[in-house]
Every structure is written in C-alpha cells, then in structure tokens.
Structure 1
Amino acid sequence: MSNNIFSDKEFEHYSRHFALPGFGPEAQEKLKKSRVLVVGSGGLGSPLLLYLAAAGVGQIGIIDFDRVAPSNLHRQVLFDGSQIGEAKVLAAKKRLEGINPYIQVKTYEQRLTSDNALEIISGYDVVADGTDNFPTRYLVNDACVLAGKPNVYGSVYQFEGQVAVFNYRDKEGNTGPNYRDLYPSPPPAGLVPNCAESGVLGVLPGIIGSMQALEVIKIITGVGEVSSGKIVLFDALTLVSRNFTIKRKSGNPLNGERPSINKLIDYEAFCGINTASNVKQLSVEAFRSLQAQGEKYQLIDVREPYEYERSNLGGELVPLARIDSYAKQIVRDKKVIVHCEMGGRSEQAIKHLEDNFGFSNLFNLQGGINAYLAKYQEDLK
C-alpha cells in the first residue's frame, strides 16, 4: 500500500500506529478507507465513537434521535454539561471532528427503523450496535444479516457487560453466528429493566464500548483475532472475563436451513412492546378526584428505593422484583392503584398479579408519578 495518502499532519497524528509492529501504514490506510456506522451515541456509543475517530476511521456514521440530558453525563463521556439539550449526533460530530480533523462524520438525527435501516446500513462496511433496547438490537442484527455486514454488539447491565461480533465473514468465506443464534427470541416485554430503572456503573460502558471499538478495528485491518463465534462476558466487580462459544443454529429464521425472514419486520411488535393492553387505567385527574372524594384505596409504588426517596406520593414501596412476595398484602375489596415513574413497570406488575394471583381490582396510574406531579406539583414529598 502507498503511504502518500497521508499528509504530514496525519503522519504525526497516527505516528504510534505507524510504529506498531504488525500494524503500520498498511493497517492505517485500511482504517482511512473504511466506513463504520455506530447506532446510538450514548453509554456504549461514546467510547466507540471517541476511539474510532481517534484511530482514523475515514467515515463514521452516527444515528441517534436523542438529546443530551444531565443523567447521561456520568457515563456518556462524549458530552459535557454545556451541551445539555443539544441533539446528540450534532454534539458528537463537533467533538469527534475536534479530536481528528482528518475524518468525515455523517449524522442521522432519526430513529433506526425497518423503513430506513437497510438503506443506511448498506453504505457502511461495519456496524457497531450501541443501543440499549431489544427491538433495535434485533433490527440491527437482521438488517446486518440481510445486507451482509458484520455487527459488533455490546450491552451493559448494572456491573456486567457483553461483547460479540455477529455475522462476520472470515477469510475462508465462512459466516459466523448472529444475534438470533444467541437469543432466538426476546425476553417478555419489561422483564429486563433498562439503565434508568436498574442503574449502571458509569465506567462499565466505557470498558465495553472500548472493546467494541477494538473489534471494529480488528475487522477492518485484519490485525488480531476477531471475536466471532463467541461472546465475552465481563464482570466489573471482579475484573473476570468469560468466553462462551456461539454456534450457528439450523433453526435461525434469517439464515438457517429454512429461512422465514427475508425482510425487516415490526420489531416492537416482535418484542411485545406497544401491544394492546387490557390493564385498567386511571388518569391522574381521576386519581386526584378519587383522593378529593375521600374514597378508600391502596396505593403501591413499584419503583426502586432511590426513586422513591427523590419523590413519592406516599404509597407503599414495593419494587417490581419483589411484587410476588407482597401479593398477600394487596387488598381485594377496594381499588388498588399501582404506579411507577412513567407507567410501564406498573402495568407490567398489574399484568403479572392478574395472571398469577387473580386480582381484578388493580388500576395503572397513567403516566406514572411524572404525569401526576407535572399537574399537581404541590403533592411532591
């Protein structure tokens, strides 16, 4: 490969790569000519984007519809307090171009959907998944398989993280397993809490996202062994990593023996999200009226203790994970109003109690405590 594609300033920027045995200008040129799409610019996307930009990936695409919020800053090191309220993709682009002015950053301030995923992904060599929800993970996976792109996957939960490379085609032309070989179907909606509900150690996404960036670089340059056909589990509390083998499954609906998926589907429906609910709902106005009229009721708060301490309506604190052990203390002779922060966890709790304990007097507070306090702030405790 020719080294004259690098300017003198680029030589200085990448000097440590040029000096690296087995890497050198040849690998750096591959990076310069590569195109990588990062889906999500949050906890995982932040270190991913920082290190891919610094390393010299020639074109980086960022797709994210979110804006910078104060709760992001303990782990999303791409941003700072001066960018609160800004579109993440625009804030990220400015930061990355400041780190490395010799790359191009393309932004997509939108959701990745079944309608746009194949068109967007087709323009890149590698996709790195920095998302935190199951519908988008399955969407990214399926789009990468259909488009023939490697998918560098990462996820975090509290103190643990996972990294894997899916749909990677090796030098012999063999394609490795994909996300559906590891997780054929998603967990029931709401069973696995997100970071807002369960928390995450701030440094953990930095570790996992950096590992994803490493895998992207190995795929592009051919240096090192790509983590295809296995998943790495990392425990931040012990610094122990475990590797588990993943094999392709004949029943995979994308590329198994009898494929049944040849186009992108409705992934929210597939993951059981936004499906019609028969849980009885109570508006915040109706709840307020019930209080004013002196009607007797039981109020249950299924959030976590730290959320309850921040603000509460005086209900009985029963975190969702402990709802079974509390079932005997839930009354059946009057209305029971169940709430969480926004209404999702409380609806899940009600479904579980109705299905497993036969309750018929449970009501979900629509919009949760957030909706209530937005209208009746004087009730804040």
Structure 2
Amino acid sequence: MPIPPLVEPAPSIPDDERLRAARQIRLPEIGDAGQRRLANAKVCVIGAGGLGSPVLLYLASAGVGVVGIVDDDDVDTSNLQRQIVFGVDDVGRPKATVAAERVRTLSPRTQVIEHRLRLTADNAAALFAPYDLVIDGSDSFDTRYAVADACAEVGLPLVWGSVLRFDAQATVFWSTPPTTGAPITLRDVFPAPPPAGEVPNCAEAGVLGALCGQLGGILVTEAVKLICGVGEPLLNRMLVLDALGARVDEVPIGPAAASAQIGRVRVDDSETITRATLLDVRNSDEVARGSLPGARHVPLDEVLADAASVPVGEVTVVYCQLGPRSRAAAHALAAQHPDTDVRVLLGGYAAWAERNTL
C-alpha cells in the first residue's frame, strides 16, 4: 500500500539534470514531480563500506539533492573486494572524502556532506536532524543500535540492511510512520545487541562482495520509494536474501510478531496507570526534568543488562520519552517475568506531560 511522499518537490530542476535523469523521469511512478522530490531530498548514509559504497553510488545516480556520508575510517586494500566506490590509488585516504569525490562525479548537482567522525549514541540525533531519511550500512552492533535509537527518537525512517557470508536482510524501521503500517524499531525485532563475540563480523566470517551490491540497490530502491511516495515499502516485513540458494523470502516483523504479550496503555487510562508499577527507563537527565508520580527509575541499559532483577508488579507499565526505549525494556522484562502483565505507555512521558499540562 503506497505511503505519502516523504519529501516535497523542489520548484524545478535544471535542464542538465533533467537530461541526466531522463530514463528515470520516464517512469510514470517517478515522473517530473518524483525527480523534483529526489532533488529536494536529504539522505544520510552510515558507513561507506560494503553496503555504503553501492548505496552512495545509486543515491547519486538517482539525483538525490543532499547526501551525508558518516565514516571515520581510511581505505584499506582488503576493502576493495566489495567496497566498489574505492580504487587501488585510494588506499590510505579517508573513505568519506573519496566517496564524496565519486558521488560528485556521478551527480555534480548533489551536495555531499562529509561527516568524518565516529557515530555514537551521544551525537547521532543531532547529526540526523537536517536529514529526511537515514540508510544504515554500518557493520558494528554499537553503531547500528545508536543509529536505530536516534532515528526512533526523532521519528526518521531508517532503511536498514545487514549482510554476512552469503546472507542478507533488508527492512524499514520507522517509529512514526504514516497511517500504513504499525510503528516499528530495531529493538522491536532485536531488543538488544548479542553478547560480544557471539556473532562474527565480515572480517571473521567473510562476505560475498556482489551480495553487498545487490542489497545496496535494494536499500536505495526503498529510499526512493519513501521519498517519492510510490510502491509498498518494507514496513513491518523483512526481506531475506539467500545468495547460495538463489532465494528471496519475506517474514513479518513488528511488535505483534516479536512479542504478543506486550500490551499498551494510553495516557488517558488513569486507572491502569494508578494501579500499575511504573518503570521509567530514561536517562537521569531526562528524569530530572520531570517524571510520572510514583515511577521507579531504572535506565534502559540496566534493564537490558539484568532484567530479572528489576522489581515488577502484577501490572508493570514501562515508559521512556517517546516510546522506542520502553518497548525494548518491555520485551526484556516480559522474557524474564512471564507472569507479569508488561505494558508500554503510548507516546511516553512526552505524551503524558502534554496531557497533564493542558
């Protein structure tokens, strides 16, 4: 089911850009309006590696107006097997700089912003603020969860992909989607990163370079669909690619699929809120600015580290600022306290505070 376009169209595009994108404009689903939307779009790409390389090239070829590149690494010889934006002469140079140069040669009118920094939970939300959409091509769990949590907090759609060996996955996470589809975040599907060392990375397990290109093309296709409001995005479902078996499957994902026992409480349900154990999983600085009366404060990282020791009641309502962190905490608590009715507060503290200050 189509969704509303994510980006308003630019007033016009130059003649040389119209000529460059002529074959794409000819698609009735894109057309002139869609190409102007792409020209007005701002997309942030996390990582210029195996996934980021084809993603950046196809964003440029599509005519996206602003492309941000987040990468603090330098080009290594071992990258060249799959990171097709680089060449032998680029070894030792900053990946973000080389990738930016290549994007500009493909689409001279695209504005490229280099973010040569290590993305963390502390800087992600501010970095994403100017963008319309984020594509995550990172390869570390710390970065993936920092990206996903920041996108969930600010409401940006996150086009997400993962590749290892001969297998790949793709989906769209969005905490505030339009009317089509339920809100879904990375933590709704994978509540917490796996323990260190449990899942090998590409350096340890290997990866097929061509599969990175295949998945990168899928991620950009999802981004174009969201920007232009065409087709059916990968919301509430995950595409699973098996390169060795030459198979593509689809699995439903989301809060209902991941854990049916997690309930929801609206901010106007005062009876439930009053009689339940309230658990605030926000950071200390957020709690200092206000909290629900009677709430117990246990930060999310402590809940995820040892959910079994967190005190719960017969009915426990978990909340954060907007909702994403409370869902992650609720999943962890439900797994460790199967006899407890675990619920999340819809809209989080922000919704409660708004209702109670009117």
Q: Which letter maps to 1:99?
A: L
- 1:31 maps to what in 2? 38
Tell me: CA distance 1:168–1:28, structure 2 relative to 1, closer, same or farther (3 Å). Answer: farther
1:143 aligns with 2:140: no
- 1:99 maps to what in 2? 106
- 2:14 maps to what in 1? 7
1:83 aligns with 2:90: yes
Distance 2:26 2:210 in 1: 30
Query: Pairwise mapping of residues 247-286 of structure 1 onto structure 2 (< 5 A)?
Result: 247-248=254-255, 260-262=280-282
1:187, distance to aligned residue in structure 2 (A): 1.4
CA contact (8 A) 1:31 1:56 kept: yes
Tell me: CA distance 1:11–1:119, structure 2 relative to 1, closer, same or farther (3 Å). Answer: same
1:59 aligns with 2:63: no
Partner of residue 184 from structure 2, selected from 163, 177, 191: 177
1:173, distance to aligned residue in structure 2 (A): 6.9
CA contact (8 A) 1:43 1:206 kept: yes
Q: Which letter maps to 1:222?
A: G
Partner of residue 214 from structure 1, selected from 217, 221, 234: 221
1:171, distance to aligned residue in structure 2 (A): 3.5
TM-score w.r.t. structure 1 length? 0.66
Please list the CA deviations of residues 112-131 of structure 1 after superposition, one character each: whole Å capped at 9, or x if unmatched: 01221111011111010001
CA contact (8 A) 1:187 1:271 kept: no
- 2:78 maps to what in 1? 71
TM-score w.r.t. structure 2 length? 0.70
Partner of residue 187 from structure 1, selected from 189, 194, 197: 194
1:176, distance to aligned residue in structure 2 (A): 2.6
What secondary structure does 1:73 align onto? Answer: helix
Distance 1:173 1:232 in 2: 18
Distance 1:189 1:141 in 2: 19
1:13, distance to aligned residue in structure 2 (A): 0.5
1:172, distance to aligned residue in structure 2 (A): 2.0
Please list the CA deviations of residues 175-226 of structure 1 after superposition, one character each: whole Å capped at 9, or x if unmatched: 5311111111221111111111111011111111111111111111111110
Partner of residue 23 from structure 2, selected from 6, 10, 16: 16
Distance 1:97 1:183 in 2: 36
Partner of residue 156 from structure 1, selected from 141, 163, 166: 163
* Higher Rg: 1
Distance 1:251 1:215 in 2: 26
Distance 1:271 1:27 in 2: 45
- 1:43 maps to what in 2? 50
Distance 2:242 2:115 in 1: 33
CA contact (8 A) 2:133 2:158 kept: yes
Q: Which letter maps to 1:190?
A: G
Q: Which letter maps to 2:133?
A: V
1:231 aligns with 2:230: no
Distance 1:189 1:248 in 2: 25
Distance 1:171 1:130 in 2: 24
**How many aligned positions are there?**
269
Tell me: CA distance 1:206–1:166, structure 2 relative to 1, closer, same or farther (3 Å). Answer: same
Tell me: CA distance 1:173–1:230, structure 2 relative to 1, closer, same or farther (3 Å). Answer: closer
Tell me the C-alpha RMSD between the 2 structures. Answer: 2.7
1:261, distance to aligned residue in structure 2 (A): 4.6
Tell me: CA distance 1:149–1:199, structure 2 relative to 1, closer, same or farther (3 Å). Answer: same
Gaps of 5+ in 2: 1-7, 266-277, 287-298, 307-358
1:201 aligns with 2:208: yes
